[in-house]
Amino acid sequence: MIKIRNTENLAGVTISGDFDDLYNLVEAIYSVTIDELSQKNHAYIDMSRRVLGLCYELRHAYQGDREIELIENQMNEAKMNFHSFIAPKNNVYYSCNYLYPEMFYIMLAINQLVELRMEMLAKTRFLMREALDKRVVWDDKIATIRVFQAAFVKCVKGTLTENTFARWMNVMNGYDTRVHLMETQYLDFLNVKYIKMSKDKRLKTLSPITKRIVEYYRDDDYKEISEAIDEAVSEFGWPKSEIKIQGIEYPENIEW
C-alpha cells in the first residue's frame, strides 16, 4: 500500500511503497496524462509534463535510485514453522521525497486528468453519470490514483488543525480549478520560495500556498511572471514551457 508522510523539516512528503505499489501508480498516472501529439486535449499537455515529473521520481524510487527501507511484515518463527517454509520478516519499501507546493499542484492536476479519462471511458460529458458509469467505477487506473490521493490527504489532515484542514479541503475541491492554464514557472517560484522557509513558516504556509496555486490568475507574482513569459515568446519565439525566469533557481540540496 502507498504510504505518505511528512519529511522531517516539512519541506514536502515522503512517498513510499513496495515495488508493485509504485510501479502500478506510475502506470496509472501515465494512463491519464495527455500525449504530446494529442490535438483534442492539447491544452493539458504542459500540465501532463509536470505530472510526469512525479512519475520520474517514483520510477527512480522503485528502481532503487532513491531511498530504501525495511518494513516489518508480521512474519515470525511460529508462522514459518506452521507453513513449513522460511520467509523474510521484512518487506522492502522504496521511497522518494516531493515538495509540498508541487504535491498540491499534482493533486489538482490529476483531478482534471481523471475527469478527462472519465469522459473518455463513459463517452459522456455529464460528470455525475460518468462517476457511476460501469466503465469508470471499475477502472483500476482511476482506483489506484484515488488511493494515492487519499493517502496524501490523510497526511495533510494529520498536519493541519481541524479548522485549517477544512478550509484547505474547500480550496482543493472548488469548482473553479483550472491549473492546466497555469504557466508552471509560477509553481517553480512558489517551490523555491517555500524551500527557503523555516519549518514553522512552512507549516503556516501550507494552506495559503494552496490557495495561491488554485487562484494563481489573481496573484500579482503570477501576473508578473506571465507577462515576462509572453515578452520572451514575442521576442525569441520560444515555447512557453522552455522559458526560464531569472532568479528562480532550485538549491542543490534541500533540507527535507
Cβ contact 194:101 at 8 Å: yes
Predicted confidence at residue 154, as pLDDT, reads: 97
Q: In this predicted structure, what is the pLDDT of residue 74?
A: 82
Burial zone of 227 (CB within 10 Å; 0-12 exposed, 13-18 middle, 19+ buried) = exposed
CA 185 to chain centre: 16
8-state DSSP, 158: T
Residue 19 pLDDT: 95
Cβ atoms of 88 and 71 closer than 8 Å:
no
Distance from C-alpha of 33 to C-alpha of 50, rounded to nearest angstrom:
10
Alpha carbon separation from 73 to 17, 23, 98, 147, 195 (Å, rounded): 13, 20, 26, 21, 35
The three-state secondary structure class of 14 is strand
pLDDT < 50: residue spans in the chain: none
How confident is the model over 176-218, as pLDDT tens digits?
A: 778 999 999 999 999 999 999 999 999 999 999 999 999 999 9
Instruction: Report pLDDT for 247.
Output: 87
Contacting residues for 55 by C-beta, under 8 A, at least 6 apart: 26, 29, 30
The confidence score (pLDDT) of residue 145 equals: 97
Using the structure block, give the residue that is written with the C-alpha cell 509504485: 22
Residue-by-residue DSSP string for 56-112: HHHHHHHTTSSEEEEEE----HHHHHHHT----SEEEEEEEEEEHHHHHHHHHHHHH
